[in-house]
Structure 1
């Protein structure tokens, strides 16, 4: 019997290797999916630079361990009772900048949340045991040890696969919500409210409007002795942001836009012997940028 066991040992060891490899591959699928969920379930940033904010969050998430990812997911996407608004970054957003924040969440009962939390944290322990401690826990140089390792790996795979299936269902729901958000972000209504600062009733939030943002940029490019010509700013904007026109904001001219915007100051100056409408960004708002 001993001789037979010794002859079977290489075969048993190869089967342990196969089962361990199967577990590791499934774990990698699990980790990739949870990274995607953490990276995409919420983000925030300036409207004009949302893509850069999104890419930065994906890059940051890619470097996190499974334990950190589970911690990020719990209480942020997987939550109990009520959804807390994503205040972390909106409270620190710059003034006079159109800022967008989005968060999706899976709301569970208290009892269900406790169960899910336990399963997620158990996955971290399972992963760490397989990666760091498996050969310490099983004697792979004996037939009995290999058979015990096989049984443990079959059980581990079943657990990983079950949790992966649950995670995939959550991810599918998240993907559906992302499609809804994507359509919203591309809609004209969204651009009017969040990019251009124009409410459905036509009222303009001048401090965070698209046209004032363009005027700020034009001012930085054209300023001389603290002032920039309004007409030249209009030409500068027309080349770069042709959709940003005074008429879109209910104004007849660029001078009217500058006059209406509280963050801008209008003054007529003598330039080349001609009376010229000029503007500047008010100091209090310029310092807050």
Structure 2
């Protein structure tokens, strides 16, 4: 017994069907391009960990996303990457940095902020894209009659419209990815500057924004002097200055935006200060001790 699954077809009809197949293939290829680019973008959205293992963290994230469906990754994009201007925030949630840090931890994070109306339209467009992908992959033959000439003509028009939608989303995503790459390049350039090195190693904030006193090098040096020179819980500022200038002359108050060491003690808010004066013609002595935490 034999089964005729397809009726006899003319060369004209076969050519028409082949066009449908090529257009379907074109849509699916564009969807796969979109999915690959989307996974690369979302993978870079939020990466953090110890400096020595940061590339391993990134590789694990890329590998995990490679196994996810388009719908899942679009969900990550809409929930974690895309924000409206009104909701954009630099606040980082879910910080899992351990308390007992033994090496530098680095975290990079970016968001794509859109005007509120555009944000709403984009979310709707992305939901439509996922539905369209599922329609093409799972239901195309159910919905499109490609076994008749009129059905093929209708399928041509449908696939042209599908490709236009997919391509519009792809070009949108491509622009986001391009901006992301540019931002990372700018960040990499900044990391090479002395301004960033001062921030990373010494607690001096970029652009004259102040000092992270609690972790600044100059405060660490004052505490080191305290450990080495302290008497009865107090340390002479004059002795501490001499100690620091001998071993680390590059760390001066001016480097940290202060005009004197006394100002460093005051601005840092890390120390208690005691003044002593043994006589009217004797200069005032300054003593300090670390505040209890």
- Shorter-chain TM-score tier: 0.5 to 0.7
1 CA distance for matches of 2:249 and 2:147? 78
Q: Are positions 1:104 and 2:114 aligned together?
A: no
Distance 2:67 2:199 in 1: 35
Cα distance change of structure 1 residues 47 and 185 upon mapping to structure 2, 3 Å threshold:
farther
Structure 1 contact 47–99 (Cα < 8 Å) conserved: yes
The unaligned stretches of length 5 or more in structure 2 are 1-6, 205-210, 217-246, 252-293
Match of 1:130 among 130, 136, 139: 136
Task: Describe the superposition over 1:214-273 as per-residue Cα deviations: whole angstroms up to 9, x where unpaired.
Answer: xxxxxxxxxxxxxxxxxxxxxxxxxxxxxxxx96998xxxxxxxxxxxxxxxxxxxxxxx
Match of 2:147 among 141, 146, 149: 141
Higher relative contact order (CA 8 A, sep 6+): 1
**Do the aligned partners of residues 93 and 202 (structure 1) sit closer, same or farther apart at CA in structure 2, a change above 3 Å counting?**
closer
How many angstroms does 1:124 deviate by?
0.6
**Secondary structure at the counterpart of residue 70 of structure 1:** helix
Cα distance in 1 for residues equivalent to 2:138 and 2:181:
33
Match of 2:274 in 1: none
Counterpart-to-counterpart distance in 1, 2:120 and 2:180: 21
Who is 1:172 aligned against? 178
Between the aligned partners of 2:98 and 2:80, the Cα distance in structure 1 is 24
Match of 1:66 in 2: 70
Q: Deviations over 1:151-186 (max 9, x none)?
A: 111111111111111111111111111112222344
How far, CA to CA, are the matches of 2:187 and 2:54 in structure 1? Answer: 13
- Equivalence for 2:169: 163
Q: Which whole-Å deviations, capped at 9, do the CAs of 1:31-81 have from their partners, x for residues lacking one? A: 111111101122221233222222222112212211111111113221112
Equivalent positions of 1:66-85 (< 5 A) are: 66-80=70-84, 81-85=86-90
Secondary structure at 1:173's aligned position in 2?
helix
Q: Is the Cα–Cα contact under 8 Å of residues 34 and 69 in structure 1 kept in the other structure?
A: yes
User: Over the residues paired in the alignment, what is the CA RMSD in angstroms?
Assistant: 2.8
Aligned to 1:113: 119
Aligned match for 2:21, one of 17, 29, 49:
17
In terms of Rg, which structure is larger?
2
Q: How many residue pairs end up in the alignment? A: 207
Mapping of 1:22-41 within 5 angstroms? Answer: 22-41=26-45
Gaps of 5+ in 1: 207-245, 251-289
Q: In 2, distance between residues paired with 1:31 and 1:5?
A: 36
